[in-house]
A = this chain, B = another copy of it.
């Protein structure tokens, strides 16, 4: 029998669909893009789609499904968005109500599904370029910070950008920009390099989410837009209902990270 880490995206989704795998997806199907999930009732869909159009760095759309559709066409031809994610969070009026393993019973004809790119894709490219990623080395969650950079609001959605931080040796910063810039659909180039206070971060050792990581002498903190941004913005808008993936429990797609990269 194959190790889980050797399974194809299709095999992983099949295990998830059966309820056999309900754990985080980091490290699975290496090379393939994973996606964040946001499901909203149709009345919020235009505003959220517009929010993503205006804020492509924190909200890089990979695929949007019309109201009621639960089968992807671009990220996979063999997926059901109601069952193929290991754990779903159900929010009502911005409050977490439950975490569940499938949402077939909850599904409504007016649900619009948004799948957004995630930084796993560009982290793989950084590692290939021999650029160290501290939170992976230290087996931690990436440190995340709420900044003072406002997103462009759209309809009911507004709020500050959330960023991830990776400490980069000074002689690798340019390369880190170049490598990640190719991945515009998975957050792309950094939004800030250096002094954390310039984007409203008071203490680089106290992230708002995730874990603190070691910053070695001389290393430069580099900040990328983070997929927590759209989730935070949606919670603040308190929609009647919103369904997301549980943190770390992502949609595993059939697209290679390289298929998402530009030249």
Within residues 10 to 48 of chain A, which ones have a CB less than 8 A from any CB in chain B?
Answer: 42, 45-47
Instruction: Tell me if A262 and B184 are in contact (CB < 8 A).
Output: yes
Copies in the assembly, this chain: 2
Within residues 46 to 69 of chain A, which ones have a CB less than 8 A from any CB in chain B?
Answer: 46-47, 49-50, 53-54, 61, 64, 66
Query: Which chain B residue lies CB-closest to A181?
Result: B263
> Does A232 sit within 8 A of B, measured CB to CB?
no
Instruction: Tell me if A154 and B66 are in contact (CB < 8 A).
Output: yes
Q: How far is the CA of A184 from the CA of B189 in the complex (A)?
A: 15
- Please judge, given known A-B contacts A53-B64, A66-B154, A66-B155, whether A181 and B262 are in contact too, CB under 8 Å: yes
State the Cβ distance, A155 to closest chain B Cβ, in Å. 6
State the Cβ distance, A218 to closest chain B Cβ, in Å. 26
Query: Which chain B residue lies CB-closest to A42?
Result: B46
Residues on B with C-beta less than 8 A from A66 are: 47, 50, 154-155
State the Cβ distance, A55 to closest chain B Cβ, in Å. 12
Residues on B with C-beta less than 8 A from A181 are: 262-263
Q: How far is the CA of A61 from the CA of B47 in the complex (A)?
A: 15
Interface size on A, residues (CB 8 A): 22
Instruction: Tell me if B61 and A53 are in contact (CB < 8 A).
Output: yes
Q: How far is the CA of A134 from the CA of B239 in the complex (A)?
A: 53
State the Cβ distance, A154 to closest chain B Cβ, in Å. 7
Residues on B with C-beta less than 8 A from A53 are: 49, 53, 61, 64
Contact with B along A166-177 (1 / 0, CB 8 A): 000000000000
State the Cβ distance, A110 to closest chain B Cβ, in Å. 12
State the Cβ distance, A136 to closest chain B Cβ, in Å. 26
Interface residues of A (CB under 8 A from B): 42, 45-47, 49-50, 53-54, 61, 64, 66, 73-74, 152, 154-155, 178, 181, 184, 189, 262-263
What are some 7 contacts across the A-B interface (CB < 8 A)?
A47-B66, A49-B53, A53-B53, A53-B64, A66-B155, A181-B262, A181-B263
Known: A47-B66, A50-B66, A53-B64. 5 other contacts (CB 8 A): A45-B46, A49-B50, A50-B64, A184-B262, A189-B263
